[in-house]
Amino acid sequence: MSRTTTTRLATAGMLTLTAGLAGLVLAPSASAADAPAADVSTTTVAQGEKFTVSGTGCVQVDPDYDPLAFIMSENGEIVEDVAPAANGSWSITASFPADTPAGEILMVAGCDQAYMDGFPYQEWTMTVGKAAGAVRGVEANTPGTKSVTTDKTTTSSAPGQKVVRVIAGFQPHEWVTLTMHSTPTVVGKFQADANGVVTAEFTLPAGTPAGTHTFVYEGDAGTYFQETFTVTAGGKKLAYTGADMTVPLTLGLGLVAAGAGALVVSRRKTAGATQA
C-alpha cells in the first residue's frame, strides 16, 4: 500500500466512495462513458493470486507535479500506484489479501496528473475466490522471522482450546494477519510490539479437522512467516499458563471443609463416650 498515494488522494479529494460503488472524480468533465479503458490480465483471481493492470495516457501536464497511476478497490482493500513512463504507459501488479471475502469487487483506476486534476479509467469487476490449500514454502519466510513461543503453549491443540504463539522478526508495531490453512481461515489480527514481536492469542476454531495445519502470518509491512501446527481430535489439554484455577480451588476448599466437619463430629462422639 502506498502511503504517498493515499495522502495525495485524500488531500486532493479525488476519490469519492458512493453506496456500492467507488466513483472516481478526477476531472469535472470525465465520465464513465468516455473514460479510457485499462488493460486487466484477468478478472477472476484467488485470494493472494497476482493480477496485472496497465494503461496509457498518464502523462505529465504540470512541470511541478509528477503524474501517478493507481488502482483501488471499492472497499479500499487495495491501493497500489506506479509512476508512469515518459510516454504515459504504466503497469501495476497487485493481489487481494487472504482475508478478502469471496465475491465480486468493483475496481477503479486513475491517473493523478496535478492537484485536483486527472482522469479515471473505466471501472471493472473482479471476481475473487478462495485460495487453494497450498501456501508458500518455508523458504519464503522473511529472513529473521522465527517462533519464540515459550511454555505458554505447545505445538498441538484440540478445537475450542486456547492457543498462544509468539513470533519475532516483524517490523515494530506492524499489524499481522494470522490465517490457518489448508482451508484458509483468518483467526485474528495482531500488532507487533516495539521490538517486532507478535503475540497471537486465539481459540482454535471449533470443527477444525485433526491433522497438520499451517499458520501463516502476514504483516501489513510485507513481513511473512509460516509454521506447522498439529490439531488433535480432542482430549489433549493445552499447556497454557492462564488456565482457570477456580474449579480446582473450589473443589479443594470443599474437601477441606468436609474434612474439618468430620473431625468435629468425631471429637463430639469421643467426648460423649468419655462422659458416659
- State mean pLDDT over 34-48: 86
Give the per-residue pLDDT at 99.
Answer: 73
Segment (H or E) for 41: none
Q: Which domains does the chain have, with CATH numbers?
A: 3-129 (2.60.40.1930), 138-231 (2.60.40.1930)
Question: Residue 234: its pLDDT value, please?
Answer: 66
Q: What is the DSSP letter of 65?
A: B
Exposure string of 122-161, with b = 16+ CB inside 10 Å and e = fewer, is ebbebebeebeeebeeeeebbeebeeebeebbbebbbbeb
Phi, psi for residue 188 in degrees, rounded to 5: 160, 165
What is the pLDDT confidence band of residue 230, given thresholds at 50, 70 and 90?
confident
pLDDT for the residue 47 = 77
Q: Is residue 180 within 8 Å of 201, Cβ to Cβ?
A: no
Looking at residue 211, its pLDDT comes to 86
pLDDT of 39 over the 50 cut: yes
Q: How far apart are CA 211 and CA 207, in angstroms?
A: 12
108-122, 152-166, 247-261: which has the highest mean pLDDT? 108-122
Please tell me the total number of residues recorded for the chain in this structure: 276
Confidence check: pLDDT of 105 > 50 = yes
